[in-house]
Each structure stands twice: as structure tokens, then as C-alpha cells.
Amino acid sequence: MKILVCISHVPDTTSKINFTDDNSKFDTNGVQFVINPNDEFGLTRAMWFKEQQGANVTVVNVGGQETEPTLRKALAIGADAAIRVNMQATDGFSVAKQLANVVKEGGYDLVIAGRESIDYNGSMVPGMVAGLTNANFVNKCIGLTVEGSSVTALREIDGGKETVSTTLPVVIGGQKGLVEESDLRIPNMRGIMMARKKPLTVVEATETTPETTSIKFEKPAAKGAVKLVSPDNLDELINLLHNEAKVI
């Protein structure tokens, strides 16, 4: 089984976010980038298929040269090869089209992507890749088994969970639950050394026209001041809630 894991290069959740050019561009200065958490769950599941069923695992990213350390980390975790599509990720459709080209050319049976990236939270790329490659699609996936060409997946739905059956080829939109957090892997020294010898192929992007453009970004409003009221002064608390906060 050939598996392609889509990897997004995203800011660490602890990074301080700023914008430049009149809040129209993301400021990358001083920001540490990591594998998108939803993608990391998918990569870990792909490692299970590799170890238990002998699957071959390739990771792919659409981005510039600055994303290669993230791909190298995925190789150190255990992926067999990496592909970087040489194009800045401008919008979901452009990224999906580039990924679909890689899927078609590589003849992959199983494509695992995170249901969304934690930077733009578009939640559109996996579904569009499935549509562009005429593959089956399971989103919000929290469980996955493959036997031959038969696929059984567990996914979250409103108010519960649903078990679905389909066949390869299939695109998965994975998330937390696809594997346990305790199963996520930290590259060891041997994996890091081996990653240097594994192939990282750079392919040029095909021409695409972005469907969306980010015009301006705005930070959430700062938290308001907090007033502390003694637990012995309930009258003051009621007065503040009624006359100032106006919640009662």
C-alpha cells in the first residue's frame, strides 16, 4: 500500500503572532514552525501501517524552501521519502490542485491529511483533493483500518460517532483521536541521521489561479480588566453584575 501524508508547515501554538504591511501579511520573524498537529496524528497512523502492513509512506508539502526542516522531521519520524511542491501556499484550492497532481502521478492508495491546518483553519484541502482525484473521502476521521482494498473508518458527527466502510483509493481528513496523543513520536538521533539520507524531491508547481486572497488580518480584542470582589461582599458583587456588567 502506498500512502501519501500531506504535511502543513504551521506556526507553533505558543508563538506570538504579528502582522506587517498594514496587517495584510503574516510576520514570520521569530516564529517557530512545526508539523500541523492534525497532520501529525495522520503521520503517526501511517507509521502504524508501515510497521504492521509494510506500507510505503511519502510525505508532501506545498511551500518554499523554508518548509524543508518540517519535512525532514517527518522523515526522521519514519517516512520513507518527501516531496516539496515549490510554491507558496496562497489558498486552499491552489494547494489542493498541487497535491492532487502529486497523488495522480504517484498512484497512491491512501492519502492522509489533517482535517484543517491550525493557521488558517480552512478545512477544505482534503475534500478538494478527493474531488480532484475522484477518490472516496472521509472527514473528521478518528479511527482507520485497511484490509486489502477495504477501508473501515470511524468519524465524528454531530452528537456522536459514525463507522463507515469504503474502498481504496481514499482521502482521509484526520484529527486528534486517529491515534492517541501518547502515540505521537519524537524523532530520535538515529531517525534524524537517517533522515539526511532519505530522498526529498522538489517538484515545480503547475500553474494555478488563486480563488481567494487574504486582504487584512485582525487580532482578537485584548482581555478587559478584571475586578476582584471579596467573597464576603456579596452586595458589591450583585451591584457590579447588575449596573456595570448588566448581566442580571
What is the structure's pLDDT at 248? Answer: 86
CATH number at residue 6: 3.40.50.620
* Residue 243 within any structural domain of the chain: no
Whether 246 is in a domain gets the answer no
Q: Largest Cα–Cα distance of the chain, in whole Å?
A: 71
pLDDT of residue 32: 93
* Count of structural domains, the chain: 1
SS3 of residue 182 by DSSP? helix
Range of the domain at 75: 2-220
Q: Is residue 43 part of a domain?
A: yes
Q: Classify residue 159: in a domain, yes or no.
A: yes
Q: What is the pLDDT of residue 17?
A: 87
SS (H, E, C) 212-244: CCCCCCCCCCCCCCCCCCCCCCHHHHHHHHHHH
Which pLDDT score, from 0 to 100, does residue 223 have? 83
Segment 70-84 mean pLDDT? 97
* Residue 114 placed within a domain: yes
Whole-number Å distance between alpha carbons of 230 and 232: 5
Q: What is the pLDDT of residue 222?
A: 83
Q: What pLDDT is attached to residue 212?
A: 86
Residue 234 forms part of a structural domain: no
**pLDDT tens-place string over residues 86-134:** 999 989 999 999 999 999 999 999 999 999 999 888 899 999 999 999 9
- Is 30 inside any structural domain? yes
What percent of the chain is modeled with pLDDT above 70?
100
In this prediction, residues 213-234 reach a mean pLDDT of 87
User: What pLDDT, on a 0 to 100 scale, did the predictor assign at position 141?
Assistant: 97
Tell me: pLDDT of 45 over 90: yes
Mean model confidence pLDDT for the chain: 94
Within a domain: residue 85? Answer: yes
Read off the pTM.
0.88
